[in-house]
Chain A
Amino acid sequence: MWFRIDFHSSKPIYEQIKEGIKLLILSGRLREGEFLPSIRSLAEDLGVNLNTVARAYRELVMEGVLEVRRGEGYVVADVRREALQGFLEDALKNVLRDCKTAGISEERVIEIVGEVYGGEGGC
Protein backbone atom coordinates (compact mmCIF):
# COMPACT_ATOMS: atom_id res chain seq x y z
CA MET A 1 0.00 0.00 0.00
CA TRP A 2 1.38 3.36 -0.93
CA PHE A 3 0.31 6.95 -1.34
CA ARG A 4 2.35 10.08 -1.38
CA ILE A 5 3.01 11.93 1.86
CA ASP A 6 3.84 15.61 1.67
CA PHE A 7 6.13 16.20 4.61
CA HIS A 8 6.22 19.92 4.08
CA SER A 9 2.48 20.42 3.91
CA SER A 10 0.87 22.22 6.80
CA LYS A 11 -1.49 19.27 7.02
CA PRO A 12 -0.30 16.91 9.76
CA ILE A 13 1.16 13.65 8.46
CA TYR A 14 -1.23 11.45 10.43
CA GLU A 15 -4.11 13.38 8.80
CA GLN A 16 -2.63 12.69 5.39
CA ILE A 17 -2.44 8.99 6.22
CA LYS A 18 -6.04 8.97 7.42
CA GLU A 19 -7.23 10.66 4.25
CA GLY A 20 -5.14 8.33 2.11
CA ILE A 21 -6.78 5.31 3.70
CA LYS A 22 -10.27 6.82 3.39
CA LEU A 23 -9.67 7.47 -0.31
CA LEU A 24 -8.58 3.85 -0.80
CA ILE A 25 -11.78 2.68 0.86
CA LEU A 26 -13.99 5.10 -1.12
CA SER A 27 -12.38 4.07 -4.39
CA GLY A 28 -12.99 0.43 -3.54
CA ARG A 29 -9.36 -0.61 -3.37
CA LEU A 30 -9.80 -1.48 0.28
CA ARG A 31 -12.97 -3.43 1.04
CA GLU A 32 -14.92 -3.97 4.20
CA GLY A 33 -13.34 -6.67 6.35
CA GLU A 34 -10.02 -6.44 4.54
CA PHE A 35 -6.81 -6.28 6.63
CA LEU A 36 -4.64 -3.20 6.59
CA PRO A 37 -0.86 -3.52 6.54
CA SER A 38 0.75 -3.71 9.99
CA ILE A 39 1.77 -0.40 11.51
CA ARG A 40 5.42 -1.16 10.95
CA SER A 41 5.05 -2.23 7.35
CA LEU A 42 2.94 0.80 6.41
CA ALA A 43 5.45 3.05 8.18
CA GLU A 44 8.23 1.50 6.11
CA ASP A 45 6.25 1.73 2.86
CA LEU A 46 5.36 5.38 3.35
CA GLY A 47 8.67 6.36 4.94
CA VAL A 48 7.08 7.72 8.09
CA ASN A 49 7.45 7.02 11.79
CA LEU A 50 5.74 4.20 13.63
CA ASN A 51 4.03 6.57 16.04
CA THR A 52 2.50 8.54 13.19
CA VAL A 53 0.90 5.46 11.59
CA ALA A 54 -0.19 4.25 15.02
CA ARG A 55 -1.90 7.58 15.64
CA ALA A 56 -3.67 7.53 12.26
CA TYR A 57 -4.94 3.96 12.87
CA ARG A 58 -6.02 4.85 16.41
CA GLU A 59 -8.04 7.84 15.22
CA LEU A 60 -9.57 5.84 12.37
CA VAL A 61 -10.69 3.26 14.92
CA MET A 62 -12.27 6.02 17.01
CA GLU A 63 -14.06 7.35 13.94
CA GLY A 64 -15.36 3.85 13.26
CA VAL A 65 -13.52 3.49 9.96
CA LEU A 66 -11.27 0.67 11.19
CA GLU A 67 -11.72 -2.10 13.73
CA VAL A 68 -9.10 -3.79 15.85
CA ARG A 69 -8.93 -7.57 15.64
CA ARG A 70 -7.05 -8.62 18.76
CA GLY A 71 -3.74 -10.18 17.88
CA GLU A 72 -4.42 -9.96 14.16
CA GLY A 73 -4.43 -6.33 13.21
CA TYR A 74 -6.70 -3.69 11.77
CA VAL A 75 -9.57 -4.34 9.33
CA VAL A 76 -11.86 -2.00 7.41
CA ALA A 77 -15.13 -1.59 9.32
CA ASP A 78 -18.64 -1.44 8.00
CA VAL A 79 -18.83 2.29 7.58
CA ARG A 80 -21.18 4.67 5.76
CA ARG A 81 -19.63 6.30 2.71
CA GLU A 82 -20.92 9.68 3.89
CA ALA A 83 -18.80 9.41 7.01
CA LEU A 84 -15.71 8.98 4.86
CA GLN A 85 -16.49 11.78 2.49
CA GLY A 86 -16.45 14.57 5.05
CA PHE A 87 -12.84 15.62 4.45
CA LEU A 88 -13.41 15.82 0.69
CA GLU A 89 -16.51 17.92 1.16
CA ASP A 90 -14.58 20.25 3.45
CA ALA A 91 -11.83 20.60 0.84
CA LEU A 92 -14.45 21.33 -1.83
CA LYS A 93 -16.07 23.95 0.38
CA ASN A 94 -12.71 25.68 0.80
CA VAL A 95 -12.17 25.84 -2.94
CA LEU A 96 -15.73 27.10 -3.45
CA ARG A 97 -15.15 29.82 -0.87
CA ASP A 98 -12.10 30.95 -2.82
CA CYS A 99 -14.19 30.87 -6.03
CA LYS A 100 -16.80 33.01 -4.36
CA THR A 101 -14.20 35.53 -3.19
CA ALA A 102 -12.72 35.54 -6.67
CA GLY A 103 -16.14 36.41 -8.11
CA ILE A 104 -16.88 33.19 -9.97
CA SER A 105 -20.65 33.01 -10.30
CA GLU A 106 -22.75 30.23 -8.80
CA GLU A 107 -24.00 29.40 -12.30
CA ARG A 108 -20.46 28.91 -13.55
CA VAL A 109 -19.65 26.65 -10.60
CA ILE A 110 -22.70 24.51 -11.30
CA GLU A 111 -21.65 24.38 -14.93
CA ILE A 112 -18.22 23.06 -13.91
CA VAL A 113 -19.82 20.52 -11.60
CA GLY A 114 -21.87 19.37 -14.59
CA GLU A 115 -18.77 19.00 -16.76
CA VAL A 116 -17.01 16.90 -14.15
CA TYR A 117 -20.03 14.71 -13.35
CA GLY A 118 -20.80 13.89 -16.99
CA GLY A 119 -22.80 16.63 -18.52
CA GLU A 120 -26.20 16.11 -16.85
CA GLY A 121 -27.09 19.80 -16.05
CA GLY A 122 -24.70 21.36 -18.56
CA CYS A 123 -25.69 23.20 -21.73
Chain B
Amino acid sequence: MLTVRGLKKSYGSKVAVDDVNFEVGRSEIFAILGPNGAGKTTTLKCVLGLRRPDGGEVRLTGSFSYLPEEKNLYPYLRVKDMVDLFERIGKNFKREKAISSLEKYGIDPKLKVSELSHGMKTLTYLSLVLAEDVDLYVLDEPTWGLDPLARSDVLDALRSLTYEGKSVLYTSHILSEVEKVADRILIMKAGRVIVQGYLDDVKASYKLVVSERELEGHLLKRTKNELIYLVRADRIPEGVEVRDASFDEIFEAIVRGERDVA
Protein backbone atom coordinates (compact mmCIF):
# COMPACT_ATOMS: atom_id res chain seq x y z
CA MET B 1 0.00 0.00 0.00
CA LEU B 2 2.68 2.49 1.13
CA THR B 3 6.43 1.97 1.08
CA VAL B 4 8.88 4.55 2.38
CA ARG B 5 12.60 4.03 1.81
CA GLY B 6 15.47 6.13 3.10
CA LEU B 7 13.38 9.25 3.60
CA LYS B 8 15.43 12.36 4.40
CA LYS B 9 14.39 15.94 5.00
CA SER B 10 16.28 18.91 6.39
CA TYR B 11 15.26 22.47 7.11
CA GLY B 12 18.42 24.45 6.59
CA SER B 13 21.06 22.74 8.71
CA LYS B 14 18.50 21.04 10.96
CA VAL B 15 17.85 17.42 10.01
CA ALA B 16 14.15 16.75 10.61
CA VAL B 17 13.88 13.24 9.19
CA ASP B 18 16.88 11.00 8.69
CA ASP B 19 16.75 7.70 6.81
CA VAL B 20 13.23 6.60 7.70
CA ASN B 21 11.99 3.28 6.31
CA PHE B 22 8.61 1.67 6.80
CA GLU B 23 5.73 -0.04 5.08
CA VAL B 24 1.99 0.13 5.63
CA GLY B 25 0.05 -2.88 4.43
CA ARG B 26 -3.57 -3.32 3.45
CA SER B 27 -6.10 -3.32 6.30
CA GLU B 28 -3.40 -2.19 8.66
CA ILE B 29 -3.29 0.52 11.31
CA PHE B 30 0.21 1.95 11.52
CA ALA B 31 1.08 4.37 14.32
CA ILE B 32 4.07 6.71 14.43
CA LEU B 33 5.05 7.67 17.96
CA GLY B 34 7.66 9.92 19.41
CA PRO B 35 8.26 13.01 21.49
CA ASN B 36 7.53 16.48 20.12
CA GLY B 37 9.87 17.46 17.33
CA ALA B 38 10.77 13.85 16.54
CA GLY B 39 9.84 14.32 12.88
CA LYS B 40 6.43 12.64 12.84
CA THR B 41 4.54 15.43 11.08
CA THR B 42 7.38 16.00 8.61
CA THR B 43 7.33 12.30 7.75
CA LEU B 44 3.59 12.41 7.05
CA LYS B 45 3.90 15.58 4.97
CA CYS B 46 6.69 14.08 2.88
CA VAL B 47 4.60 10.96 2.31
CA LEU B 48 1.77 13.15 1.02
CA GLY B 49 3.97 15.35 -1.14
CA LEU B 50 3.14 18.48 0.85
CA ARG B 51 6.85 18.76 1.52
CA ARG B 52 9.58 17.75 -0.89
CA PRO B 53 11.95 15.17 0.62
CA ASP B 54 15.69 15.73 0.16
CA GLY B 55 16.21 12.03 -0.43
CA GLY B 56 14.57 8.65 -0.43
CA GLU B 57 11.55 7.17 -2.06
CA VAL B 58 7.84 7.19 -1.29
CA ARG B 59 5.67 4.70 -3.14
CA LEU B 60 1.93 4.93 -2.58
CA THR B 61 -0.49 2.75 -4.49
CA GLY B 62 -4.07 3.95 -4.22
CA SER B 63 -5.82 7.08 -3.04
CA PHE B 64 -5.31 8.84 0.25
CA SER B 65 -6.95 11.37 2.52
CA TYR B 66 -5.33 13.58 5.13
CA LEU B 67 -6.15 15.11 8.49
CA PRO B 68 -3.48 17.68 9.39
CA GLU B 69 -2.09 18.30 12.84
CA GLU B 70 -3.80 21.70 13.03
CA LYS B 71 -7.48 20.99 12.51
CA ASN B 72 -8.11 24.30 10.77
CA LEU B 73 -11.14 24.65 8.55
CA TYR B 74 -12.24 27.93 6.98
CA PRO B 75 -13.45 29.90 10.04
CA TYR B 76 -15.91 32.05 8.07
CA LEU B 77 -17.70 29.04 6.54
CA ARG B 78 -20.55 27.12 8.13
CA VAL B 79 -20.16 23.40 8.76
CA LYS B 80 -22.59 22.67 5.95
CA ASP B 81 -20.49 24.83 3.59
CA MET B 82 -17.51 22.69 4.52
CA VAL B 83 -19.54 19.61 3.60
CA ASP B 84 -20.37 21.26 0.27
CA LEU B 85 -16.71 22.11 -0.30
CA PHE B 86 -15.70 18.50 0.36
CA GLU B 87 -18.40 17.34 -1.98
CA ARG B 88 -16.68 19.31 -4.74
CA ILE B 89 -13.02 18.83 -3.93
CA GLY B 90 -13.06 15.73 -1.68
CA LYS B 91 -11.89 12.34 -2.88
CA ASN B 92 -14.79 10.01 -3.51
CA PHE B 93 -16.70 11.92 -0.84
CA LYS B 94 -19.79 10.28 0.68
CA ARG B 95 -22.06 13.09 1.78
CA GLU B 96 -24.49 10.95 3.80
CA LYS B 97 -21.64 9.41 5.76
CA ALA B 98 -20.32 12.84 6.74
CA ILE B 99 -23.79 14.12 7.68
CA SER B 100 -24.59 11.10 9.85
CA SER B 101 -21.19 11.31 11.52
CA LEU B 102 -21.69 15.02 12.31
CA GLU B 103 -25.12 14.15 13.68
CA LYS B 104 -23.64 11.43 15.88
CA TYR B 105 -21.21 13.92 17.42
CA GLY B 106 -23.99 16.46 17.87
CA ILE B 107 -22.50 19.10 15.58
CA ASP B 108 -25.07 21.51 14.13
CA PRO B 109 -24.30 22.00 10.39
CA LYS B 110 -25.57 25.58 10.63
CA LEU B 111 -22.78 26.58 13.02
CA LYS B 112 -19.85 28.55 11.74
CA VAL B 113 -16.47 26.87 12.00
CA SER B 114 -15.27 29.76 14.18
CA GLU B 115 -18.01 28.94 16.69
CA LEU B 116 -16.78 25.36 17.21
CA SER B 117 -14.64 24.31 20.17
CA HIS B 118 -11.32 22.64 19.48
CA GLY B 119 -12.77 19.18 20.03
CA MET B 120 -15.76 19.86 17.78
CA LYS B 121 -13.51 21.22 15.06
CA THR B 122 -11.45 18.03 15.20
CA LEU B 123 -14.59 15.90 15.05
CA THR B 124 -15.92 17.94 12.12
CA TYR B 125 -12.68 17.60 10.19
CA LEU B 126 -12.54 13.87 11.01
CA SER B 127 -16.14 13.38 9.89
CA LEU B 128 -15.24 14.98 6.55
CA VAL B 129 -11.99 13.06 6.07
CA LEU B 130 -13.43 9.69 7.06
CA ALA B 131 -16.35 10.25 4.68
CA GLU B 132 -13.84 10.23 1.83
CA ASP B 133 -13.75 6.71 0.44
CA VAL B 134 -10.00 6.19 -0.09
CA ASP B 135 -7.42 3.44 0.43
CA LEU B 136 -5.15 5.13 2.95
CA TYR B 137 -6.08 7.59 5.70
CA VAL B 138 -3.16 9.69 6.89
CA LEU B 139 -4.11 11.25 10.21
CA ASP B 140 -1.91 13.56 12.27
CA GLU B 141 -2.95 13.38 15.93
CA PRO B 142 -6.59 12.53 15.17
CA THR B 143 -7.70 12.20 18.81
CA TRP B 144 -5.82 15.13 20.31
CA GLY B 145 -8.09 17.12 22.61
CA LEU B 146 -11.08 14.76 22.39
CA ASP B 147 -13.00 13.56 25.43
CA PRO B 148 -12.72 9.82 26.25
CA LEU B 149 -16.07 8.90 24.69
CA ALA B 150 -15.41 10.70 21.43
CA ARG B 151 -11.92 9.24 21.35
CA SER B 152 -13.30 5.74 21.75
CA ASP B 153 -15.78 6.42 18.92
CA VAL B 154 -12.97 7.62 16.68
CA LEU B 155 -10.84 4.58 17.43
CA ASP B 156 -13.78 2.32 16.58
CA ALA B 157 -14.27 4.24 13.35
CA LEU B 158 -10.61 3.77 12.44
CA ARG B 159 -10.78 0.07 13.19
CA SER B 160 -13.89 -0.43 11.10
CA LEU B 161 -12.10 1.20 8.15
CA THR B 162 -9.68 -1.72 8.18
CA TYR B 163 -12.61 -4.13 8.00
CA GLU B 164 -13.26 -2.69 4.54
CA GLY B 165 -9.66 -3.27 3.47
CA LYS B 166 -8.52 0.30 4.11
CA SER B 167 -5.33 1.33 5.86
CA VAL B 168 -4.54 4.00 8.43
CA LEU B 169 -1.25 5.79 9.02
CA TYR B 170 -1.42 8.02 12.04
CA THR B 171 0.55 9.77 14.75
CA SER B 172 -0.31 9.97 18.40
CA HIS B 173 0.99 11.00 21.78
CA ILE B 174 -1.34 8.74 23.70
CA LEU B 175 0.23 5.36 24.23
CA SER B 176 -2.80 3.69 25.79
CA GLU B 177 -4.80 4.55 22.69
CA VAL B 178 -2.11 3.27 20.34
CA GLU B 179 -2.11 -0.02 22.26
CA LYS B 180 -5.80 -0.37 21.52
CA VAL B 181 -5.77 0.15 17.76
CA ALA B 182 -2.34 -0.08 16.22
CA ASP B 183 -1.17 -3.17 14.36
CA ARG B 184 2.28 -1.84 13.79
CA ILE B 185 4.20 0.96 15.47
CA LEU B 186 7.24 3.05 14.72
CA ILE B 187 8.94 5.09 17.41
CA MET B 188 10.87 8.12 16.20
CA LYS B 189 13.30 10.32 18.00
CA ALA B 190 15.24 13.27 16.62
CA GLY B 191 14.32 12.31 13.08
CA ARG B 192 15.42 8.70 13.35
CA VAL B 193 13.52 5.45 13.75
CA ILE B 194 14.49 3.75 17.00
CA VAL B 195 12.00 0.88 17.12
CA GLN B 196 9.49 -0.49 14.70
CA GLY B 197 7.46 -3.63 14.28
CA TYR B 198 4.17 -5.29 15.14
CA LEU B 199 3.01 -3.92 18.48
CA ASP B 200 2.55 -7.45 19.84
CA ASP B 201 6.10 -8.36 18.85
CA VAL B 202 7.57 -5.18 20.29
CA LYS B 203 5.78 -5.88 23.57
CA ALA B 204 7.05 -9.45 23.64
CA SER B 205 10.62 -8.62 22.74
CA TYR B 206 11.49 -6.50 25.78
CA LYS B 207 11.72 -7.28 29.49
CA LEU B 208 12.52 -5.17 32.53
CA VAL B 209 15.55 -6.16 34.49
CA VAL B 210 16.34 -5.07 38.04
CA SER B 211 20.07 -4.95 38.58
CA GLU B 212 22.54 -3.63 41.10
CA ARG B 213 25.26 -3.05 38.55
CA GLU B 214 25.31 -1.31 35.19
CA LEU B 215 24.11 -3.29 32.18
CA GLU B 216 23.72 -3.03 28.43
CA GLY B 217 20.24 -1.71 27.81
CA HIS B 218 17.93 1.28 28.10
CA LEU B 219 17.90 2.66 31.62
CA LEU B 220 14.31 3.21 32.75
CA LYS B 221 14.93 4.46 36.26
CA ARG B 222 17.30 4.47 39.16
CA THR B 223 16.38 3.74 42.76
CA LYS B 224 18.63 4.18 45.77
CA ASN B 225 20.54 0.96 45.16
CA GLU B 226 19.06 -0.53 42.00
CA LEU B 227 19.00 0.18 38.32
CA ILE B 228 15.96 -0.76 36.24
CA TYR B 229 16.79 -1.52 32.64
CA LEU B 230 14.78 -2.38 29.59
CA VAL B 231 16.55 -5.25 27.87
CA ARG B 232 15.79 -7.26 24.77
CA ALA B 233 14.17 -10.53 25.79
CA ASP B 234 16.85 -12.53 24.00
CA ARG B 235 19.73 -10.72 25.71
CA ILE B 236 18.90 -11.03 29.37
CA PRO B 237 22.07 -11.53 31.43
CA GLU B 238 22.38 -14.24 34.09
CA GLY B 239 21.44 -13.70 37.68
CA VAL B 240 19.07 -10.74 37.45
CA GLU B 241 15.46 -10.25 38.42
CA VAL B 242 13.27 -10.21 35.29
CA ARG B 243 9.88 -8.49 35.06
CA ASP B 244 7.38 -7.96 32.25
CA ALA B 245 7.54 -4.54 30.62
CA SER B 246 4.46 -2.50 29.81
CA PHE B 247 4.30 -0.56 26.55
CA ASP B 248 4.58 2.71 28.48
CA GLU B 249 7.79 1.47 30.06
CA ILE B 250 9.17 0.28 26.75
CA PHE B 251 8.43 3.66 25.16
CA GLU B 252 9.79 5.66 28.05
CA ALA B 253 12.99 3.66 28.43
CA ILE B 254 13.73 3.67 24.72
CA VAL B 255 13.02 7.34 24.15
CA ARG B 256 14.70 8.48 27.32
CA GLY B 257 17.45 5.86 27.36
CA GLU B 258 18.84 6.95 24.02
CA ARG B 259 19.25 10.37 25.51
CA ASP B 260 21.35 8.90 28.33
CA VAL B 261 23.68 7.27 25.86
CA ALA B 262 24.10 10.49 23.93
Contact = CB atoms under 8 A, between A and B. Distances in A.
Instruction: Please say whether the chains A and B touch (CB closer than 8 A).
Output: yes
Interface of A: 7-15, 40, 43-44, 47, 49-52, 55
A13 B200 contact: yes
B200 A49 contact: no
Given A7-B176, A7-B180, A44-B163, A49 B201 contact: no
Contact of B204 (A7, A12, A49): A12
B31 to A, nearest CB: 11
Contacts of A51: 27-28, 162, 183
B27 A52 contact: no
A40 B27 CA distance: 12
29 contacts: A7-B176, A8-B179, A8-B248, A10-B203, A10-B204, A10-B244, A10-B245, A10-B247, A12-B203, A12-B204, A13-B200, A14-B200, A15-B204, A40-B163, A43-B159, A43-B163, A44-B163, A47-B156, A49-B29, A49-B159, A49-B162, A49-B181, A49-B183, A50-B27, A50-B163, A51-B27, A51-B28, A51-B162, A55-B200
A9 B27 CA distance: 24
B63 interface: no
Interface in B151-206: 156, 159-160, 162-163, 176, 179-181, 183, 199-201, 203-204
A50 B161 CA distance: 11
B3 interface: no
A9 B199 CA distance: 12
Interface string B231-255: 0000000000000111110000000
B204 A8 contact: no
Interface string B8-31: 000000000000000000011100
B66 to A, nearest CB: 22
A52 B200 contact: yes
A51 B162 CA distance: 9
The 9 closest A-B pairs by CB, nearest first: A12-B200, A10-B244, A7-B179, A7-B180, A51-B183, A12-B204, A49-B183, A12-B203, A14-B200
Contact of A8 (B27, B162, B163, B176): B176
Contacts of B183: 49, 51-52
Contacts of B180: 7, 47
Contacts of A40: 163
Which residue, of A9, A12, A40, A52, has the highest number of chain B Cβ atoms within 10 A? A12
A10 B246 contact: yes
A52 to B, nearest CB: 7
Contacts of A13: 199-200
A15 B179 contact: no
B28 A8 contact: no
Contacts of A43: 159, 163
A55 to B, nearest CB: 7
A15 B200 contact: yes
Contacts of B199: 12-13
Which residue, of B160, B200, B201, has the highest number of chain A Cβ atoms within 10 A? B200
Nearest to B243: A10
B156 A8 contact: no
Given A12-B199, A12-B200, A12-B204, 9 more contacts: A8-B248, A10-B244, A10-B246, A11-B203, A11-B244, A15-B204, A44-B163, A50-B27, A55-B200
